[in-house]
Amino acid sequence: MPNVKSAEKRVRKTKKLAARNRATRSALRTAIRRVHEEIETKDAAKIDQAARTAVRVIAKTAKKGVIHRRKAARLQSRLRIRANRALAAK
């Protein structure tokens, strides 16, 4: 346990930020999973909507600093490629 008041505050802040990061990362993974699920259903409108939502969530996650901006760009790119392939196959 911390002995200094500022260290105690830092522990509190770290717990709060870790919980926020965990929630944001979970939302990110859920959005990506939904796109993959929609690709399997082969409904063009749902695929496009899920991909748009996921790209938005990925961008927000990167902006908050939970993931690196280049990782966000990579995820968005790969997701869009998969969604576009599924739409083209339709």
- Spell out the CATH class of 5-89: mainly alpha
Q: So where are the chain's domains?
A: 5-89
Tell me the pLDDT tens digit for each residue of 7-43: 999 999 999 999 999 999 999 999 999 999 999 999 9
If residue 90 lies in a helix (H) or strand (E), which one and from where to where? Answer: none
- Non-local (6+) Cβ contacts of 44 within 8 A are 87, 90
Query: pLDDT by residue (tens digit) across 27-86?
Result: 999 999 999 999 999 999 999 999 999 999 999 999 999 999 999 999 999 999 999 999
pLDDT grade for 89, boundaries at 50, 70 and 90: confident
pTM higher than 0.75, yes or no? yes
